[in-house]
Structure 1
């Protein structure tokens, strides 16, 4: 997968710019802080996920004094071309694929598959468990239409079941119908989430030794509300056992909407044993492992966005990181300092200087 061109209008500090990018090339953007480096890769991420990795507020991405913005890109995917466009106006997203209006977010997300790494990502480990569920869900949504449909249906059914529980006169038969549908969906969701985590850690462990000089092992536990063996029977019993509590509190107290992931380093919770540097390395290994998972499932690499990835690596590891990045992947890197061009031996690379929303291609 490659971004052939990118157009930004009133996005952050980019007024009206357009870029053309080489396929399977490392695009390295450098410049001082607050010049727009991260804004550029944020726009790509936004086009992939329909939200930012920096903010939950749409208006903060719109240039000051403007009331709308546009992000548009031409994408090459499996030898076919797509035109993606998002217009944000009056706090609403308007989506277009090949100039056709798209109404459902799920029909848009994943057309451009971008994976990002940024320093704040280490908050994943200490954030509320909803953040870790969203991490799994977003990646599975991009990879599996069945998962997207099933999760969407589960969330609707959960909402309906909670509404039914809030009625003064309970319709037990209706609640049972909702419960049966949730059980059917949860079997699918739990199996896919658990398989995803196991596969991701297997891929990440192959890469982690590069980042750690010590012999450390990554692992993760998917924490759900039932034993995964005999899963359908166990989920049914769980709802039976908590029905009285659900009626008392007028809400569904068990389900995959409360699940979590525990990340481990050498068998211990990463929050208890890992330094900030170890967490950063752990996370980077996960993101690169995720890219490899995508490749093996779709036969093409996603777009990789690496924000300030070199800041805590010594010169040797900076150089070696470049060497382990797949050659047939389009990669966008931001850095405060210029990077030694000799590190990119036998790699296609373009360098850009970013200054106050202006981007200039440079040679090194």
Structure 2
């Protein structure tokens, strides 16, 4: 768990410090006050990823080129000084040479946001991000396979777009892409096999019904990936990009055997999405031995009272949960489950 968070020139925060309660907290505030940015800072500190942007540049405060995040956690202190040239990553004062070594002993994280409905309703990209965020925390080889695949894909696409391409070089990167893509595909399939029963259990605990939810991995290509890429090379040249591979994979989500995107109600879809995130939590706890820190961004206002209570009860008792909200009306007569703070003018005050 994280006990203290310090920020420097991060988003709307010039300088910020917060002593975080052991069990977590509810952060109350109006829109555009920086509530989500606090959760985002914790996520970036622990995973070097933001759920809001693919690049770290926008995390710096307006007019700034660099930002800093420091966190004190159980048994370790983490510090990031991010600059355009090279980030300075440290754990317990010792520099880590790269992102991989920085993340090797970090804590797992589960992010739950108001846009999680996109896991069911939107295109495949949202579901691949879901798999990759979880997979990179689940298995040490997953992040490496994903990084290697993306690097080979970028280079191969560059070669496909240029008229005077070197065919031998194109084939070399096709082989690299197939190698890392096959590894990534295998890891994703194994991950979904482990994850599926966790999703089923989470859905039953929240939905309170005997509906059958299922999530299955759907690869864009079957068979030998290198052979499939070679067979499609003329088409890839026409399009100027690689048309098939793990970057086109998806998840099939069904409820009672029918597409959840097409046939489930919005309430059922929200329950599926929340179940998928709770499944991340229980799987990571089971696989890593650490209960993830839960970062929950403004989701309770979208749930009906029954699902809201069930969701709160489904959060692990030993998890540290940081929850943002614009109001506490959704509690109704339920006692506030966590210490509460009001955020205003970049300052947190206990309620």
| TM-score range for the pair, normalised by the shorter chain length | 0.7 to 0.9
Query: Mapping of 1:69-218 within 5 angstroms?
Result: 69-76=67-74, 81-89=75-83, 93-109=87-103, 111-162=106-157, 165=160, 166=162, 168=164, 170-172=166-168, 174-218=169-213
Distance 2:240 2:297 in 1: 44
CA distance change for structure 1 residues 256 and 64 in 2, over 3 Å: closer, same or farther?
closer
Counterpart for residue 7 of structure 2: 8
- Report the equivalent of 1:26: 24
Q: Secondary structure at the match of 1:222?
A: strand
The offset of 1:284, in angstroms, is 1.1
Does structure 1 conserve the Cα–Cα contact (< 8 Å) formed by 2:120 and 2:273?
no
C-alpha distance in structure 2 between counterparts of 1:59 and 1:121, whole Å: 24
With structure 1 as the length reference, what TM-score do the two structures score? 0.82
Q: Distance in 1 between matches of 2:58 and 2:239?
A: 37
Superposed displacement of residue 272, structure 1? 1.2
Given that 1:13 and 1:356 are in contact with CA atoms closer than 8 Å, whether structure 2 keeps it comes out as no
Matching residue within 267, 271, 275 for 2:265: 275
For residue 120 of structure 1, give the secondary structure of its aligned residue in structure 2: coil
Q: How does 1:216-231 map to 2 (within 5 A)?
A: 216-227=211-222, 231=223
Deviations 1:23-63 (A, max 9, x none): 3x132222333333322212112223334323456555444
Deviation at 1:351, TM superposition (A): 2.3
Partner of residue 295 from structure 1, selected from 280, 285, 297: 285
Matched residues in 2 for 1:39 and 1:128: separation?
26
Q: Which runs of 4+ in 1 moved over 6 A?
A: none
User: Compared with structure 1, are the counterparts of its residues 100 and 341 closer, same or farther at alpha carbon in structure 2 (3 Å cutoff)?
Assistant: farther
Q: Is the 8 A contact 1:126 1:271 kept in 2?
A: yes
Asked if 2 retains the 8 angstrom alpha-carbon contact of 1:47 and 1:112, the reply is no
Offset at 1:122? 1.7
Residue 63 to residue 225, structure 1, CA distance change in 2 (3 Å): closer
Matches within 5 A, 1:192-341: 192-227=187-222, 231=223, 234-246=224-236, 249=239, 251-338=241-328, 339=331
1:281 to 1:92, Cα distance in 2 relative to 1, 3 A? farther
Question: Number of residues paired by the alignment?
Answer: 347
Cα distance in 1 for partners of 2:71, 2:262 equals 42
- Between the aligned partners of 2:14 and 2:165, the Cα distance in structure 1 is 57
Query: Structure 1, residues 219-256: CA drift from partner, whole Å, max 9, x if none?
Result: 223221333xxx5xx33442343244345556433322
In 2, are the aligned partners of 1:11 and 1:69 still within 8 Å (CA)? yes
User: Which among 46, 49, 57 is matched to residue 47 of structure 2?
Assistant: 49
SS in 2 for 1:197: helix
Residue 265 of structure 1, CA deviation: 2.3
CA separation of 1:95/1:128 partners in 2, compared to 1, >3 Å: closer, same or farther? farther
Q: CA deviation at 1:167?
A: 6.0
Q: 1:175 to 1:84 in 2, by over 3 A?
A: same
